[in-house]
């Protein structure tokens, strides 16, 4: 029996929460899980307990939750379906990168693995979705890769935008308008901590963005 869409959403939320944990943290808080899914902490706790009973998660009362190996694999497969669907909608269906997230949220629960395999083959076995998020392999695994944000990367160094860690449509349109989509060259000239601003040099322009926006743009050294 395949997991329900609710189970898959919880697995994905916990999985992504784990990816954002600091090195000295092991568990995702129940408050974070509840906030991500838009439910009450009590509802989240009830569901997480069910995941733990089914062997998909490890739950520690008053501390938080972490996925088991089986839970991580299932979560990775949900993300694989989501990200391949997003790429298909952009590259084949001609949809904009700022409008595919919600459709992919729905389709990720209903497309078959056979269809996903066909989409993967058709797209040439891509490694990243339109927002730069890595596409898990058929086993649900994602290669580990450390990326800096524009808030933490070196200044005065040629960089390339690799990933956008926020799929809000308005934010994506802002990124596109200012030439900061994945693959675009960028360099941090200076940071003004007092103004919470980061001054950038792009391919053909200079731009100043807020620190919050800068933290959502992940980069790697230009090669």
Domain count within the chain: 3
> CA 126, CA 83: separation in Å to the nearest integer?
10
**Spatial CB neighbours of 65, under 8 Å, sequence gap ≥ 6:** 14, 27, 28, 30, 33, 48, 51, 52, 57, 58, 59
Q: Is residue 20 within 8 Å of residue 27, measured between CB atoms?
A: no
Per-block average pLDDT, block size 10, for the chain (223 residues)?
84 93 89 95 95 96 95 96 98 96 95 96 96 95 88 94 94 94 95 94 90 95 81
Residue 84 belongs to domain spanning: 77-144
Residue 72 inside a domain? The answer is no
pLDDT at 1: 41
Entry pTM: 0.89
Question: What is the CATH number for 60?
Answer: 1.10.10.10
Look at residue 208 and tell me if it is in a domain: yes
Instruction: State which of 144, 168, 196 marks the end of a domain.
Output: 144
């Amino acid at each position: 029996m395949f997991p329900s869409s609710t189970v898959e959403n919880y697995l994905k939320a916990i999985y992504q929460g784990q990816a954002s944990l600091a090195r000295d943290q092991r568990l995702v808080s129940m408050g974070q899980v509840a906030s991500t899914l838009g439910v009450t902490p009590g509802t989240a706790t009830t569901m997480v307990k069910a995941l733990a009973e089914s062997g998909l998660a490890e739950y520690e009362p008053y501390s938080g939750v972490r996925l088991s190996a089986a839970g991580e694999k299932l979560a990775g497969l949900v993300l694989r379906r989501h990200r391949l669907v997003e790429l298909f909608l952009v590259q084949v269906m001609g949809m904009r990168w700022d409008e595919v997230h919600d459709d992919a949220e729905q389709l990720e629960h209903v497309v078959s693995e056979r269809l996903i395999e066909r989409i993967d083959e058709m797209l040439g076995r891509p490694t990243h979705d339109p927002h730069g998020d890595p596409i898990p392999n058929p086993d649900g695994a994602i290669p580990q890769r450390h990326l800096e944000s524009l808030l933490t990367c070196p200044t005065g160094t040629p960089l390339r935008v690799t990933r956008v860690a926020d799929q809000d449509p308005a934010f994506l349109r802002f990124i596109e308008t200012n030439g900061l989509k994945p693959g675009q060259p960028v360099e941090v000239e200076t940071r003004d901590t007092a103004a919470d601003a980061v001054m950038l040099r792009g391919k053909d322009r200079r731009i100043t963005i807020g620190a919050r926006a800068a933290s959502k743009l992940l980069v790697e050294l230009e090669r």
